[in-house]
Amino acid sequence: MFNFGRKKPVEEDPVTQADTETGPAIDQKPFWEVIWPVLACGAGLFSDGYVNNVIGSVSTVLGYEYGTLYTSSTAKSNVSAIAFAGTVVGQLVFGFLADRWSRTGSLLVSTVILILFTALAAGSYWHGDPVGMFGMLTAWRFFVGIGIGGEYPAGSVSCAESSGELKSGTRNRWFILFTNTMIDWGFVIGAFVPYVVAAAASNIYYGTIWRTSLGIGVVFPLILFVLRLRLKEPEEFSRNSMKNAKTPYSLVLKYYGFRLAIVSLIWFIYDASISLDTLKHNILIVHQFSTYAFGIFSSPMLASIYNDDAPLTTVFGWNTVINLFYIPGTIIGAFVSDRFGPRYTLVGGVLAQAIVGFIMAGCYSKLAQPQYVGAFAVVYGIFLSLGELGPGNNIGLLAAKTCATGVRGQYYGIAAAIGKIGAFVGTYVFPYIIAAGGDDSTKQYQYPFYVSACLCIFSACLALFFLPHIGQDTITKEDADFRAYLESQGWDTSQLGLKQPIASDSEQGEHVRASKEEPVLETKT
């Protein structure tokens, strides 16, 4: 039922088999001609990293500017968290649109939403009333989240499909470099821009600092919008889209339901994020559910570096340094994923995280001492890099390449949305785990970590035993396998592809064909 452990009846070269099933081979094109669609489709996730990280700095500045009027209100949590709710909505809606309407059209719409509401957020105002302004900022941030959510299914699946035209042996790395690596650079730039703006504003013009930092977030999606105007539908989508057919959801669920549940669960564990409110600066450091324990370690690390009255440039400078830890792991991991495959790379990454994490928890009482802050920072950085090398790079890749093209947008959108929902779960669950440590400050940090490390191991087991191997031609092969499955169930696969719709009267795709044919006119000679 769940398509677990399927064996192929005929052992053939996957590329040859796929080509005969899905049409003529894709012509080899010059590198720059095939790389720019991959960039244009995937790089929009830079905005996800930037917008999610810069809001932490914005919240910090709002606390400086408005004091307890902001820090003691619900706006403090709403401004930071509301975008995640919007992101879930965007992932689900645009996942459907990407399959049932258009990959490129969905990308353009999500980009416009991102540009428009980021600009509105930067200009938030309500008749001079700060409380009203907080409400407007929160509202605009929700719609920004919808735009970000659209980038996940529409952008990532198009990026994955476009990468199929690149040279075999390099496809995984380019997908990663233009998706997860872009998110990580978004985090870095989202921390660095407020630092530069704060320095230019002498750490005192708070309104200028936070509005400018938000407003700069418009620039990158605006550039992408221009690039995306030239995009065409990916070749695989043109061949295997279900746009003009009634999607056989019962067959899809039977074939992909179990696999989707596994991918979603791994993403849920990994992608749950929390905001850390420490040192009264409310630095937003987004971490995954399985890395929560390491996220809380940054609090004593930063506390030993600066105090409560530190200037904004100090706060934002160290925030930039922390986010730079992600970059080595994601770049190195992109090449590792091509060498060993996404599944094994993910497994290796989370297992290495668990090992490093257990070491950190066991040695926490010593590492937390101020004289060892340098060693603490190095080990913490290694952990963050391992997180990106493993699940950070590969969970999106697995979601984009473990299902057929006709339902890829919805499959990816559901998995990503469940991951984002984990963000809220992590926020509420881990404080109780911390409380279980009682008055022992060491145990308060160790307990969440032990849970997190166990979740790392659990994720590794899920990926190792329940996910398929992802090769260089997996997308083409997956389409061929799914097409064969549909045909075995009596579904007419001639409906697939971007062509004129054929009337159908059932979910199984049985056609209502004309009973009469046009007469053939014969010419007398």
| Per-residue pLDDT reduced to its tens digit, 407-432 | 999 999 999 999 888 877 776 777 77
Q: Does residue 4 sit within a domain?
A: no
Mean pLDDT of the region 127-150:
94
Whole-angstrom CA distances from 467 to 87, 212, 355, 395, 504 are 26, 44, 23, 11, 34
How distant, in Å, are the alpha carbons of 203, 209, 210, 316, 509 from that of 197?
A: 9, 6, 9, 10, 58
Q: Residue 446 in 3-state DSSP?
A: helix
Rounded CA-CA distance 52/284 in Å is 8
Element (H, E) at 523: none
What are the backbone angles phi and psi of residue 243, rounded to the nearest 5°?
A: -55, -40
From CA 250, how far away is CA 268, in angstroms rounded?
24
| pLDDT value of position 103 | 94
Question: Would the pLDDT of 29 be above 90?
Answer: no
The reply to whether 18 falls in a domain is no
Q: Which residue shows structure tokens 């992932």? A: 91
Within-domain flag for 273: yes
For 468-497, what is each residue's pLDDT tens digit? Answer: 999 999 999 999 999 999 999 999 999 998
Distance CA 336, CA 346 (A): 10
Nearest alpha carbon to residue 106 among 239, 253, 251, 237: 237
| pLDDT beyond 70 at 339 | yes
The tokens describing 93, both together, are 């809606």
What is the number of other CB atoms lying within 10 angstroms of the CB of residue 512?
A: 10
Opening angle at CA 368, ends 367 and 373, nearest 5: 70
Residue 407: inside a domain: yes
Least confident of 31-35, 68-72, 214-218, 296-300: 296-300
Distance CA(182)–CA(220), nearest Å, equals: 11
Closest CA to 512 of 523, 501, 525: 501
Which of 232-241, 284-293, 395-404 is predicted with the least confidence, judged by mean pLDDT? Answer: 284-293
Interval 170-227: pLDDT, tens? 999 999 999 999 999 998 999 899 999 999 998 889 999 999 999 999 999 999 999 8
pLDDT of residue 316: 83
Residues paired with residue 511 on neighbouring β-strands, in sequence order: 504
pLDDT of residue 449: 75
Q: Give residue 306's pLDDT band: very low, low, confident or very high (50, 70, 90).
A: low
- Assess whether pLDDT exceeds 80 at residue 1: no
Q: What is the pLDDT of residues 74-87, one digit of tens each?
A: 888 888 788 889 99
CA 182 to the chain's CA centroid = 10
Strand stretches in 417-498, DSSP E: none
The structure's pTM equals 0.83
| Reported confidence tier of residue 28, pLDDT bands at 50, 70, 90 | low
Burial 371-408 (b: 16+ CB within 10 A, else e): eebeebbebbbbbbbbbbbbbbbbbbbbbbbbbbbbbb
Residue 150: pLDDT band with limits 50, 70, 90: very high
Between 74 and 310, name the one with better pLDDT: 74
pLDDT of residue 259: 96
Query: Tokens at residue 427, please?
Result: 């926020």
Beta-carbon contacts of 295 under 8 Å, excluding residues fewer than 6 positions away, are 274, 276, 285, 287
Helix, strand or coil, per DSSP, at residue 511: strand
- 514 inside domain: no
Per-residue confidence band for 448, with pLDDT thresholds at 50, 70 and 90: confident
* Residue 253 CB contacts under 8 Å (≥ 6 apart), including other chains: none
Nearest 5°: CA angle at 85, between 80 and 89? 145
Instruction: Encode pLDDT of 368-383 as tens digits.
Output: 676 776 777 788 788 8
Number of alpha carbons in the 13 Å side-chain half-sphere of residue 127: 2
pLDDT of residue 27: 53
Six token digits for residue 218: 């418009």
Q: Domain residues for 431?
A: 28-495
Asked if residue 242 lies in contact with residue 235, where contact means CB atoms within 8 angstroms, the answer is no
What pLDDT sits at residue 77?
83
Q: Dihedral of CA 173/178/181/183: which sign? A: negative
* Residue 224 vs residues 50, 230, 290, 495, 512: alpha-carbon distances, Å: 14, 10, 32, 33, 43
pLDDT for 260 equals 97
399 belongs to a structural domain: yes
Average pLDDT over residues 147-167: 92
DSSP string, 299-335: HHHHHTT--TT--HHHHHHHHHHHHHTHHHHHHHHHH
Q: Which residues contact 72 (CB under 8 A, 6 or more apart)?
A: none
Evaluate whether residue 194 is within a structural domain.
Answer: yes
Domains in the chain, number = 1
Backbone angles phi, psi at 504, to 5 degrees: -135, 150
Report, as an integer, the average pLDDT of 140-158: 93
3-state secondary structure of 504: strand
Residues 6+ apart with CB under 8 A from 166: 31, 34, 35, 38, 174
List the CATH number of the domain containing 359. Answer: 1.20.1250.20
Reported as a single tens digit per residue, the pLDDT across 243-270 is 999 999 999 999 999 999 999 999 998 8
Most confident of 131-135, 304-308, 313-317, 519-523: 131-135
The answer to the question of residue 185 being in a domain is yes
Q: Determine the pLDDT at residue 357.
A: 82
**Residue-averaged pLDDT of the chain:** 82
Residue percentage of the chain with pLDDT more than 90 = 52
Distances in whole angstroms, Cα of residue 146 to Cα of each of 100, 152, 241, 499? 18, 10, 24, 30
Nearest to 181 by CA among 403, 335, 355: 335
Rounded mean pLDDT of 93-112?
95
